[in-house]
Amino acid sequence: MQEVGLRGEAAERKRLAHLEDAQRKRLRWEAAKGQVTTEYAEAYRVRHLEAQHAAWRRAADLVEYVGALRLHAEGLPPGPAREEAEAWIAWAESHVQRLNLLNGSLLLPEIPERRTEDRKPFMHGWRPYGPTC
């Protein structure tokens, strides 16, 4: 009879230890999940900034190119060829102005709603669906 009682106590200790382990795991998962919002927003802003930089760099390169076009057009004799070149350059300058992000307002990007799949890179080894999934 005593052996049955001891087995029952051991089983209860094992069950309680398992519950405590599951609770600790859940708390660590919740902490990782809480970091996702911050890390996801940071990564999104970095990508947005890098895309803006690439667009700005492209616009700056086009400004240089359009300047070279203007120098070339100034060397053309008056007439239809020069007028066509000047019309093309005017359009190109307008286009470059629209491309240059510095000509607009600079705003902190709005972070899009993240899907479960978007969380994976930021879960640090945890599954995004829960600690036991």
Whether 112 is covered by a domain: the verdict is yes
47-100 residue pLDDT tens: 999 998 998 999 999 999 999 999 999 999 999 999 999 999 999 999 998 888
Whether 132 is covered by a domain: the verdict is no
Residue in 8, 22, 19 with CA at minimum distance from that of residue 132? 22
User: Which residue range forms the structural domain that includes residue 63?
Assistant: 2-122
Whether 104 is covered by a domain: the verdict is yes
To the nearest whole number, what is the mean pLDDT of the chain?
86
27-42 residue pLDDT tens: 888 887 778 888 889 9
- Half-sphere exposure in the Cβ direction for 95 (13 Å, CA): 12
Whether 129 is covered by a domain: the verdict is no
Q: What are the residues whose beta carbons fall under 8 Å from the beta carbon of 120, sequence distance 6 or more?
A: 128
Residue in 114, 106, 101 with CA at minimum distance from that of residue 41? 114
pLDDT band at 4 (very low <50, low <70, confident <90, very high): low
If DSSP states are collapsed to H, E and C, what string results for the chain?
A: CHHHHHHHHHHHHHHHHHHHHHHHHHHHHHHHHHHHHHHHHHHHHHHHHHHHHHHHHHHHHHHHHHHHHHHHHHCCCCCHHHHHHHHHHHHHHHHHHHHCHHHCCCCCCCCCCCCHHHHHHHCCCCCCCCCCC
Q: Report the domain count for the chain.
A: 1
